[in-house]
Amino acid sequence: MRFFCVAAALATASAFTTSPAAFTTISPSVGERSVNNVFADNSAHRTRKATIVMDGKANAIRDRITSVKNTRKITMAMKLVAAAKVRRAQDAVLATRPFSETLQSVFGGLIERLGGEAAELPLLTQRDVKKVTIVVITGDRGLCGGYNSFMIKKAEKRYNELKAAGVDADMVLIGKKGITYFQRRKFPIRKTFETGQNPDSKQALAISEELLNTFLSGETDAVELLYTKFVSLIASTPSIRTLVPFSASEISQKGDEVFQLTSGNGDFEVERKELDVAEPQEFPNDMIFEQDPLQIVNSILPLYLNGQILRTLQESVASELAARMQSMQSASDNAGSLAKDLSMQYNRARQAAVTQEILEIVSGAQALE
Amino acid sequence: MMQSTLLRRIAPTLTRRALSSNAAEASSVMTLNFNLPHETIYNGATVSQVIVPGAAGEYGVTADHVPVVAQLKAGVLQIMHESAGEPEKYFVPGGFSITHDNSVTDISCPEAVKVDDIDPAAVSSNFEAARNAYTAAEAGSAAQAEAMVDMEVYRSMGSAVGINLS
């Protein structure tokens, strides 16, 4: 008898140490096991203290229900915190617009003026590609669903593709999750950075400096950036773009996209908006160029790279937050349904115990007659 | 071109009127847009004058200035507001400035910090570190070039806060 109770208690204790993943499976009921044990042995009368619901002492199922409900509160709070941070990320994206627009328009105007001359700039010329640097943006923390694993898979696939095509490849990693994964598997890593929750200009500057140095010194022939595009709360697409060398037409003609977190149907939603390309700057005839237009273009390109990196960092952080919102929502839903199941078990056990007592009393009374 | 630039600096009023293509309206204020990658410091602000640290030399921009596009070097950007008083000073490491022919100036810099917020002690110690790196690096290496650039920037930062570094 004792043994069964102890075993039941041990099973309960191990069920207490749950991780969020555990919420996706309903563990075979501990409570049921205790109840069944009590009945199966026909010894309920003798072991009164095994009546699991009627005594005022600590009760296994009741404790579990409380713990599950508390966990649900925590996961709901994490979801709302992530939503607030997405708002912040979206404001940060909008704050980068004026700078990028001015850049795009001046660049467009200068390119028109220069025509073919600009194609000779090192940052604009396509080289023979023998070595590629892959920049991978992942997150620093977990609990964000498939965000990090999708990105890592895509990065590994791209790396293997390049290797199979005979191109030498190495990596620049941003974000702890990517760093631990690739370091453990001994991939060639050029440099690592941390993402942080709030990407700022300083980080972007450090990264773009590293990439420019690598490209201009000839250590790499192309730089590709892998980041997660923030499409909607449910969908996020890992995307690849070639960052360096730039394409003059892409800089001056590619419109920008911004996202906005709104509420629709009582829940969060994301709207994605395409913005128009900034008009190429018209330079009046008496415009004085303090430096040669070519030199000015050359000085604009690093600023453009900086802006692009900052934008993709912000977008990746927003995707990570959206993924976290989704996974916390699922965790809360699972916790809710688990709490409901446990409550039902608790009530059933309680009612069964009451019925049992009544039966005993009635049969005892009958025996006396 | 160089001569006319010099002339422009020495006798701004005369040459400005002669060269300006929009001599019709003479407004006394100009519009300034000052953008950084992560924030906008001024958007459409009306100011009376801006002194820009161009790579070829500092120059001042007032209303009705001839259109100019210039690369900036590490230096101090001074903004004189309409209400006369001390000019607002920002230290910028570079960027570019474009003045349109309608008295609107767009200045874009990767970073900008108010000169008041610069700590002179930090500037001196960083300058020393850069100088040590310069002497320790082998001649003609990338490290030496980086240290040289660092020294230049800290030197101009020092002169912005009033300390003389060399």
Q: Where are the domains of chain A?
A: 81-276+290-325
Q: For residue range A12-46, what is the model confidence (pLDDT) as tens digits?
A: 444 444 444 434 444 444 444 444 444 444 444 44
Residues of A within 8 A of B36 (CB-CB) are 99, 201
In this prediction, residue A37 carries a pLDDT of: 47
Q: For residue range A167-195, what is the model confidence (pLDDT) as tens digits?
A: 999 999 999 999 999 999 999 999 999 87
Angle at CA of residue B75, ends B47 and B64, nearest 5°: 30
Place of tokens 């023979």: A128
Percentage above 90 pLDDT, chain B: 16
Please state whether the peptide bond connecting residue B37 to the residue before it is cis, i.e. omega within 30 degrees of 0.
Answer: no
pLDDT band (50, 70, 90) for residue A52: low
- Residues with Cβ < 8 Å from B60, sequence gap 6 or more? B12, B49, B50, B51, B52
Task: Tell me the Cα Rg of chain A.
Answer: 31
Can you tell me the distance from the alpha carbon of A177 to that of A148, in angstroms, rounded to the nearest whole number? 7
Can you tell me the distance from the alpha carbon of B110 to that of B74, in angstroms, rounded to the nearest whole number? 11
Which residue in chain B has the smallest CA separation from A106? Answer: B98
Place of tokens 């100036």: B105
Q: Which residues of chain B have pLDDT under 70?
A: 1-27
- Are the beta carbons of B108 and A303 separated by less than 8 Å? yes
Contact A65, A12 (CB under 8 A): no
In this prediction, residue B29 carries a pLDDT of: 82
Judged against a pLDDT cut of 60, whether residue A197 lies above it is answered with yes
Does residue A262 sit at the B interface (CB-CB below 8 Å)?
no
- In this structure, how many other beta carbons lie within 10 angstroms of the beta carbon of residue A95? 16
- Residues with Cβ < 8 Å from A229, sequence gap 6 or more? A236, A237, A238, A239, A315, A319
Mean pLDDT estimate for chain A: 81
Can you tell me the distance from the alpha carbon of A327 to that of A333, in angstroms, rounded to the nearest whole number? 10
The answer to whether the Cα torsion of A143, A144, A146, A152 is positive or negative is negative
Q: For residue range A291-335, what is the model confidence (pLDDT) as tens digits?
A: 888 888 888 888 888 888 998 898 899 889 989 998 999 999 999
Residues facing residue B42 across a β-bridge: B34
Answer whether CATH 2.60.15.10 is correct for domain B30-115: yes
Angle at CA of residue A240, ends B37 and A205, nearest 5°: 25
Chain B from 18 to 57: CB within 8 A of any A CB: 19, 21, 33, 35-40, 43, 54-56
- Are the beta carbons of A290 and B68 separated by less than 8 Å? yes
Q: For residue range A74-113, what is the model confidence (pLDDT) as tens digits?
A: 999 999 999 898 888 888 888 888 888 888 888 888 888 8
Mean pLDDT within A154-174: 93
- Are the beta carbons of A102 and B108 separated by less than 8 Å? yes
Q: For residue range B19-40, what is the model confidence (pLDDT) as tens digits?
A: 444 443 445 788 999 998 888 8
Give the distance between the most distant pair of CA atoms in chain A: 120
Can you tell me the distance from the alpha carbon of B139 to that of B143, in angstroms, rounded to the nearest whole number? 9
| Half-sphere CA count of A86, side-chain side, radius 13 A | 29
Comparison of pLDDT for A68 and A231, the residue scoring more: A68
Nearest to A303 among B69, B70, B110 (CB): B110
Smallest CA–CA distance, residue B49 to chain A, in Å, is 18
Judged against a pLDDT cut of 70, whether residue A51 lies above it is answered with no
Mean pLDDT within A231-244: 83
Q: Of A283, A110, A284, A105, nearest to B20 (Cα)?
A: A284
Helices (H), chain A: 2-16, 30-40, 60-95, 97-114, 147-164, 176-184, 201-216, 248-253, 293-368
- In this structure, how many other beta carbons lie within 10 angstroms of the beta carbon of residue A276? 8
Asked casually if ipTM beats, i.e. exceeds, 0.85, the reply is no
Q: Where in chain B are the domains?
A: 30-115, 118-161
| Half-sphere CA count of B67, side-chain side, radius 13 A | 12
- Are the beta carbons of A201 and B37 separated by less than 8 Å? yes
Can you tell me the distance from the alpha carbon of A51 to that of A15, in angstroms, rounded to the nearest whole number? 20
Q: Of A317, A315, A322, nearest to A93 (Cα)?
A: A315
In this prediction, residue B86 carries a pLDDT of: 86
Can you tell me the distance from the alpha carbon of B160 to that of B59, in angstroms, rounded to the nearest whole number? 16
pLDDT band (50, 70, 90) for residue A5: very low
Size of interface A-B (CB pairs under 8 A): 98
Tell me if residue A320 falls in helix, strand or coil. Answer: helix
Catalytic residue set of A: 144
Can you tell me the distance from the alpha carbon of B102 to that of A202, in angstroms, rounded to the nearest whole number? 33
Give, to the nearest 10 degrees, the angle between helix A147-164 and helix A176-184: 50
A81-276+290-325 topology per CATH: Pyruvate Kinase; Chain: A, domain 1 (3.40.1380)
Q: For chain B, give the secondary structure using H, E and C.
A: CHHHHHHHHHCHHHHHHHHCCCCCCCCCCEEEEEECCCCEEEEEEEEEEEEEEECCEEEEECCCCCCEEEEECCEEEEEEECCCCCCEEEEECCEEEEECCCCEEEEECCCCEEHHHCCHHHHHHHHHHHHHHHHHCCCCCHHHHHHHHHHHHHHHHHHHHCCCCC
> pTM for this structure?
0.75
Lookup: tokens for B64? 């009705």
- Are the beta carbons of A98 and B40 separated by less than 8 Å? yes
Which residue in chain A has the smallest CA separation from B111? Answer: A201
